[in-house]
Amino acid sequence: MHEHDVIVVGAGGAGLRAAVAAHEEGADVAMVTKLHPVRSHTGAAEGGINAALREGDSWESHAYDTMKGSDFLGDAPAIETLCQTSPDEVIQLEHWGMPFSREEDGRVSQRPFGGLSFPRTTYAGAETGHHLLHTMYEQVVKRGITVYDEWYVSRLAVTDHDDPEDRTCHGVVAIDIQSGRVEGFKANNGVIIATGGPGQAFDHTTNAVSCTGDGPAMAYRAGVPLEDMEFIQFHPTTLPSTGVLISEGVRGEGGILYNANGERLMFEYGYANNDGELASRDVVARAELTEVNEGRGIEDEYVHLDMRHLGDERIIDRLENILHLAADFEGVDGLERPMPVKPGQHYAMGGIETDENGQTCISGLYAAGECACVSVHGANRLGGNALPELIVYGARAGRHAAGKDLGEAQIQTGPSAKSEDGDIGSPVPLGAVDTPDEDVAADGAAVDVETVISKAVEAENARIERLMTKDEGLQHAEIRHKLQKAMTRNVNVFRTEDGLKQALRDIREAREAYEDVYVADPSRTFNTDLIHTIETQNLIDVAETITAGALARTEFRGAHWRAEHQERKDDEWIKHTLMAWNDGSPELYYKPVILEGEEKTYEPKVRSY
């Protein structure tokens, strides 16, 4: 058994920042990650990182923009902490050598971004995430922090008290991918989950293949509620064949969207008569899909984004990166032809419920980054606000787990924060198919730490043995593809009651099919078949919470569009959706949104498009 003070699961931006922070507090830290740290998906972020750095800007203004952008579903303490801290964190990154773009006077550059009232998006070319990831990993190398790379964490070692709020997380179970060995990791102080987004629940996403919602699924099954899962951001310009992101910069420079009839759809079909192509992400995504659904899409699938009229010189000067993306991943020369684009899943606003210190309702268990929901993005994330979240909340979770007193949290978590029960109205039963999952390991309340971990290792070995020795059945790829298709068909940009119900039926089917899953590769060496099979179960659980939340929320808020409910209902719906696993029978409940900040209360205003 491995033993450390703090164990960080995942080594993207959030995990790396958490590890450095915990190490600075004197903790013995280990990172356990299924990919080598520099392979994490944070590297794909293009646009930039928001921080009020300059005269004329203020954290208060950043906080107001963020609250408004969240469609008043963010929690003020989380948003204010984010905006107060991100300037220091960005300066810290610069001090660690991050190669930011520069102004004439040598200071870091900032640019305007959608929804921001000040150009406060700090950036490093169009590769901000790449530089952030590498800079942070360099700090981990510098400090000699232990990294177990290509180790897949498949289970949390948590006590099994009846009430999740009485449970403690003592460590994790992980599979060494190279050898197939299953081992226990004991965390004396805490476990921090930083496993990133769940984009692979959809068949068309900007997210990496590794973004499979492992952290949220594991935390959920251990008893931590998932918060606001229905809020998924779709990006309007992704390449049809791969989901690779074509930056908003193309429309910013004057790129035009055309339908199959060669019409400038944003204007000619009146989706956004004033803003045209520059309308906000959700508006453009809906416009494109409407065209396709009404038969004006190209190959019934996508629309064209044309930048040829900008002239070769300007394109090469400002959008060179886009030319490479279109050529490498779609085989299209953007100087000669319009680029095919369609909306794709991009970001999960919801995730593991935490407070401002990164803590969940299970003691010793923390979460940070895209897998977590401290609730800074609410119903809609502003571009450039995810990266500051990684470093601000990664650092806080790391410090708190290492034992530093960060003060009392204002955000309440766990079942005791419940204000009201919810009704999903699912047409099929949700959750475990028959026997409750045995994710919670120990039996009886007063078992010692070692036993909790060894029981978890035992349970994991048993699961793997089951998957590997099963002679026949279905393969993960088949189940995963069906699940992804179901989500894209019915839990996408447009959501209808019937569609969401159908999706729940499809997810149920996937769950039942999964009972029959088996691993065809008999080898223990680098068995990606096994890893993908385990991931697929996580995707099923996460997809179900997304869909159930979407069915329950009968209003139109932020990224969540409902055919039958075309308005934001503030009287009823300024509240967070929570899904709790409850030993295999998911339960839905709500808790209030905190609109009271340090000095002011944020009053909901109509979001005009």
Partner 1 sequence: MSTQIPETESESEELAQSTEPEHQQRRMAEKRERRAEREAEAEADAAAYDETIHLKVFRYDPEVEGKKEPRFDDFHVPFKQGMTVLDALMQARDLFDSSLTFRHSCRQAICGSDAMFVNGKQRLCCKTQISDLSEPVRVEPLPHQEVVKDLVVDMEHFYDQMESVEPYFQTNDLPAGEEQRQTRENREKVKMSTRCIWCGACMSSCNIAAGDNEYLGPAALNKAYRFAMDEREGEDMKQHRLQIIEQEHGVWRCQTQFSCTNVCPKDIPLTEHIQELKREAVKNNLKFW
Ligand X SMILES: Cc1cc2nc3c(=O)[nH]c(=O)nc-3n(C[C@H](O)[C@H](O)[C@H](O)COP(=O)(O)OP(=O)(O)OC[C@H]3O[C@@H](n4cnc5c(N)ncnc54)[C@H](O)[C@@H]3O)c2cc1C
State the minimum distance, in angstroms, from the CB of residue 274 to ligand X.
25
Tokens representing 372?
Answer: 């977590």
Site string for partner 1, 287-326 (x = CB under 8 A): --------------------------------------x-
Tokens representing 149?
Answer: 């790379």
Which position among 4, 5, 10, 430 is part of the footprint of ligand X (CB under 6 A)?
A: 10
Which position among 1, 26, 36, 512 is part of the footprint of partner 1 (CB under 8 A)?
A: 36
State yes or no: is 281 an active-site residue. Answer: yes
Question: Residue 445, interface with partner 1 (CB under 8 A)?
Answer: no
Question: Residue 601, interface with partner 1 (CB under 8 A)?
Answer: no
User: Rounded to an integer, what distance in angstroms lies between the CA atom of residue 181 and that of residue 176?
Assistant: 5
Q: How far lies 516's CA from each of 479, 529, 533, in Å?
A: 10, 15, 11
State the minimum distance, in angstroms, from the CB of residue 295 to ligand X.
30
Buried b (16+ CB within 10 A) or exposed e, 516-527: ebbbeeeebeeb
Question: Residue 329, interface with partner 1 (CB under 8 A)?
Answer: yes
The residue with tokens 């290509």 is: 150
Tokens representing 43?
Answer: 């590297």
Comparing CA positions, the residue from 39, 53, 126 lying closest to residue 93 is 53
Site string for ligand X, 570-609 (x = CB under 6 A): ----------------------------------------
Instruction: Determine contact, residues 184/173, Cβ cutoff 8 Å.
Output: yes
Q: Which residues ranging from 130 to 189 are in contact with partner 1 (CB under 8 A)?
A: 130-131, 134-135, 138-139, 141-142, 178
State the minimum distance, in angstroms, from the CB of residue 493 to ligand X.
17
Which position among 115, 164, 384, 549 is part of the footprint of ligand X (CB under 6 A)?
A: 384
DSSP state of 471: -
Question: Residue 266, interface with ligand X (CB under 6 A)?
Answer: no
Question: Residue 366, interface with ligand X (CB under 6 A)?
Answer: no
Cβ nearer to partner 1, comparing 240 with 586: 240
User: Rounded to an integer, what distance in angstroms lies between the CA atom of residue 236 and that of residue 240?
Assistant: 11
Tokens representing 453?
Answer: 């971990």
Which position among 21, 32, 298, 548 is part of the footprint of ligand X (CB under 6 A)?
A: 32
Q: Which residue is nearest to ligand X (CB)?
A: 12
Cβ nearer to ligand X, comparing 225 with 384: 384
The crossing angle, in degrees rounded to 10, of helices 59-69 and 76-95 is 120
HSE-up of 187 (CA within 13 Å, CB side)?
Answer: 32
Which position among 13, 47, 243, 297 is part of the footprint of partner 1 (CB under 8 A)?
A: 243
Q: Which residues ranging from 197 to 216 are in contact with ligand X (CB under 6 A)?
A: 197, 206-207, 210-211, 214
Which position among 106, 270, 407, 444 is part of the footprint of partner 1 (CB under 8 A)?
A: 106
Which position among 55, 105, 313, 421 is part of the footprint of partner 1 (CB under 8 A)?
A: 105
Site string for ligand X, 46-65 (x = CB under 6 A): xxxx----------------
DSSP state of 240: T
Question: Residue 50, interface with partner 1 (CB under 8 A)?
Answer: no
Furthest C-alpha separation in the chain: 71
State the SS3 of 490-538: HCCCCECHHHHHHHHHHHHHHHHHHCCECCCCCCCCCCHHHHHHHHHHH
CA torsion through residues 489, 490, 494, 498, sign: positive
Tokens representing 504?
Answer: 């729940």
Query: With DSSP H G I counted as helix, E B as strand and the rest as coil, what are the percentages for the chain, rounded to 5?
Result: 40, 20, 45
Residue 244: exposure state from Cβ atoms within 10 A (0-12, 13-18, ≥19)? middle
Q: Give the total of residues touching ligand X (CB under 6 A).
A: 44
State the SS3 of 401-431: HCCCCCCCCCCCCCHHHCCEECCCCCCCCCC
Would you tell me which residues interact with ligand X (CB under 6 A)?
9-15, 32-35, 40-42, 44-49, 128-129, 152-153, 194-197, 206-207, 210-211, 214, 245, 347, 369-371, 383-387, 390
Active site residues: 281
Would you tell me which residues interact with partner 1 (CB under 8 A)?
35-36, 38-41, 43-44, 91, 94-97, 99-108, 125, 127, 129-131, 134-135, 138-139, 141-142, 178, 208-210, 239-245, 325, 328-332, 469, 471-472, 475-477, 481, 519-529
